[in-house]
Chain A
Amino acid sequence: MSTLHVLSHSPFSDSRLNSCLRLLGEHDAILLCGDATYSLTPASAPLQALEDRLGGLKLFALKEDMQARNIQAPAWASQVDYAGFVDLTIRFDKVNSWL
């Protein structure tokens, strides 16, 4: 089964991103929204942690939340809008929101 892991907290104040990366299954993906989009801050430790996993990592980021924070997505990240967010929740067997 595939799981979409939804992160919404800043990776600079919290361990959710690191734990999620550690527990990520083969068919799983991560969706960054809210302050979790700060994970894509250039030259930051969270971005490095994501780039270290580039081979098998499926990563999505919510476009609106990135625009609000003036964050540019790296080419390897997929940007989705709210409709795309809904599509993802349907495409994956389940959603794990890291509240």
Chain B
Amino acid sequence: MAKSLLIISRQSPWSGPSAREALDIVLAGGAFDLPIGLLFLDDGVFQLSPEQKSAAVQQKDLTANLQALTMFGVEELYACEQSLKERAIATTNLDGEGLQRQSSGEIAALIDRYDQVITI
């Protein structure tokens, strides 16, 4: 049985390559059927805010990659409730994909449950 892996993504999509790289790891893991989860924390939840216009800064949109997660078999999708609330993000572009909002206590339990954790 493969070890389970939790990726914690905590950078905004506009702060450099980190957000995209975290997603790439998760999608690659999903493609190999690894038990993999993705948690959006701190500024990472900005990746989830709807209707971003990446073309305005000559970048590619992460939305398509986010929508691909469930297609790649990644169904354990979490976001930190407090991080969303602090940044006034009420609806996310993963709500339709089964994104679960987690309290601090629930996130501590999540980290405990996975075999390995990578925070990017």
By a beta-carbon cutoff of 8 Å, the part of chain A in contact with chain B is 1, 3, 15-16, 19, 22-28, 94, 96-99
Contact = CB atoms under 8 A, between A and B. Distances in A.
B119 A98 contact: yes
B112 A97 contact: no
B7 to A, nearest CB: 11
Contacts of B41: 19, 23
Contacts, number: 40
A25 B108 contact: yes
A62 to B, nearest CB: 18
B117 A96 contact: yes
Q: 6 smallest A-B Cβ distances: which pairs?
A: A96-B117, A25-B108, A98-B119, A22-B104, A23-B107, A25-B112
B10 interface: yes
Most-contacted residue by chain A among B8, B109, B112 (CB, 10 A): B112
B31 interface: no
